[in-house]
Amino acid sequence: MQGGNPVGTVRLDLESEGQAVVRLVAILPARQRQGLGRAMMAALENAAIEKGIGRLRVHAAPDAVPFYEKLGWTMSDATVDHPLMIKELPGRLSRHS
Q: What is the mean pLDDT of the chain?
A: 92
The pTM (predicted TM-score) of the whole model is: 0.87
pLDDT, one tens digit per residue, over 8-25 is 999 999 998 899 999 999
- Compute the distance between CA of residue 91 and CA of residue 11 in angstroms, rounded to an integer: 21
pLDDT band of residue 87 (cuts 50, 70, 90) is very high
Residue ranges and CATH numbers for the domains of the chain are 8-88 (3.40.630.30)
> What percent of the chain lies above the pLDDT cut of 90?
89
User: Do the beta carbons of residue 20 and residue 57 sit within 8 Å?
Assistant: yes
pLDDT at 97 exceeding the cut of 60: no
Count other Cβ atoms within 10 Å, centred on residue 37: 21
